[in-house]
Amino acid sequence: MNLVMIGTGYVGLTTGVGFASLGHNVACVDVNAEKIAQLDMGKVPFYEPGVQDALTMVQEQGKIVFTTDLKSVIGGADIIMLAVGTPSTRTGEANLEYLFSAAEQVGSLLDHEAVIVTKSTVPVGTNRLVLEKVRKGMSEAGRAELTSLINIVSLPEFLREGTAFEDFHNPDRVVIGADDEIAAQTVAKLHEGLDAPHVITKLESAELIKYAANALLATKISFINEIANLAERVGADVRDVAEGIGLDKRIGPHFLRAGVGYGGSCFPKDVSALAQLGGAKGYTFKLLSSVIEVNNRQREIFFKRILDELGGVKGRRIAVWGLAFKPDTDDIRESAGVDIAQRLHAHGADLAVYDPQAMNNTRRVLSDHVEFTTTAMDAARGAEALIVLTEWPEFKEVSFEMLRENMVGQHIFDGRNHFADMDLHKRGFCYQGVGLGTCAS
């Protein structure tokens, strides 16, 4: 099949490369000329395991092209997929400006039967508006008679950054929302070669499935974080509690890791968009307000603990390990690492930060007065305290003996319980995780 993918961000590019690797002909379009030039030369502009190798392969096979010019590739398209960003506005609603402008542009150029697919995460009801925009663009271009040949399908993504390419090839399910059965079947066919159940449903249901899935996962995280806070007060270990409840098949073991809370491009945005949607429809989604509040409070609690334990951070050397919102990505959107680093900086700490992948992105948002080091150990050298905010595997490989010698203080505040099993208190550290108990040096 011929697929045009509009938007080459984490989702659009990974999905485009994925469909090309299934044998489809994919044309990726983006307004960012620099990004397209880079991709055309075979270079993935962000860090996402597996995507670079797969891109090289599908480029060699001639299965994928990159352009800023939609007109040049829309001609033979069976499916046009929209994967432009839908960031949150300041009030928490999804900003659909880019999506609608892409839809109108598609309409202004489309002159044949095609299925429009929305991959971007959008509020319930948006797919119908996207279809209207495409048809409006067609009518304005003098092709009103063709509008009935155009259909819309909602195809939400469930890719986790860091394992996005693997998730593309091994999805738990493919959710297809459509009014038109043939359009739904066309999109189902695009997924041939992937072994996953298909949930074919109404547009609105597909749109809601995406938000409901992310909101429930975020709820699990806020729930376990509240249990962690309670565990500290009663002397329990949240990791054992999580294991004990997670073995119940009705609950499941996933998304029960306590810490400084969730970040990233999806959870904060989607949970708040779903809460907003409730408000707009006259329904107060009480649970979600608490999920958001708990997540924000989790960072406050963590930060306050650092201030309390150290008696303030002004003028004191503090190391931060981990700036990406999770391991195996360079993405820092809504990252707890960057947030805590900013708070430390605002309180006058002398900061040294390190992340294996997210340094370039972080330089754009953290002040010049912060030291960016080339290794984790360099950041820790001379530090009174070390704050761990992303559970990168390489952090476990450092020599803790050397770390102890290099640091002038002994505090490690671990926002991901990454070192919780490493007996650090026995190695001379005052180690504190989340939900594990207090300083045990």
Q: Does residue number 161 form part of the binding site for ligand UDX (CB under 6 A)?
A: yes
* Beta strand 174-178 pairing with 150-154: antiparallel
Q: Is 38 exposed, middle or buried (0-12, 13-18, 19+ CB in 10 A)?
A: middle
What mask, x for binding ligand UDX by CB under 6 A, covers residues 99 to 118?
--xx----------------
Going residue by residue from 229 to 268, which x/- string records binding to ligand UDX, judged by CB under 6 A? --------------------------xxx-x-xxxxxxx-
Q: How many residues bind ligand UDX (CB under 6 A)?
A: 41
Amino acid in the structure at residue 331: D
Residue nearest to ligand UDX (CB): 9
What are the residues whose beta carbons fall under 8 Å from the beta carbon of 95, sequence distance 6 or more?
86, 87, 88, 89
Q: How many CA atoms lie within 13 A of 104 on its CB side?
A: 6
Give the bridge partners for 25, in sequence order: 2
- The Cα–Cα gap between 341 and 210 comes to 31
Which residue stretch of 50-58, 158-166, 172-180, 357-365 sits at the interface with ligand UDX (rule: CB under 6 A)? 158-166
Strands 114-118 and 150-154: parallel
Q: Does 158 bind ligand UDX (CB under 6 A)?
A: yes
83 binds ligand UDX (CB under 6 A): yes
Beta bridge partners of 386: 319, 412
Please tell me the chain's helix, strand, coil percentages from 3-state DSSP, rounded to the nearest 5.
45, 15, 40
Question: Among 326, 343, 411, 418, which residue interacts with ligand UDX (rule: CB under 6 A)?
Answer: 326
Q: Does 10 bind ligand UDX (CB under 6 A)?
A: yes
Residues 24-63, mask of contacts with ligand UDX (x by CB under 6 A): ------xxx--x----------------------------
Phi-psi region of 305 (alpha: psi -120 to 50; beta: other; left: phi over 0): alpha
- Is residue 433 part of the contact set for ligand UDX (CB under 6 A)? no
**Closer of 7 and 350 to ligand UDX (Cβ):** 7
Among 49, 129, 147, 160, binds ligand UDX (CB under 6 A): 160
Among 59, 108, 121, 127, binds ligand UDX (CB under 6 A): 121
The token pair that represents 223 in the structure block: 């729930």
Q: Which of residues 173-232 bind ligand UDX (CB under 6 A)?
A: 214, 217, 221
User: Could you tell me which of 83, 59, 94, 86 has the C-alpha nearest to residue 9?
Assistant: 83
Residue 189: CB atoms within 10 Å: 11
C-alpha to C-alpha distance for 326 and 265, rounded to whole angstroms: 11
Among 1, 7, 215, 424, binds ligand UDX (CB under 6 A): 7
By beta-carbon proximity to ligand UDX, the closer residue of 82 and 131 is 82
Angstrom distance (rounded) from CA 428 to CA 401: 9
Active site residue 266: yes
Binding site for ligand UDX (CB under 6 A): 6-12, 30-32, 35, 83-86, 98, 101-102, 120-121, 157-161, 214, 217, 221, 255-257, 259, 261-267, 325-326
Active site residues: 266
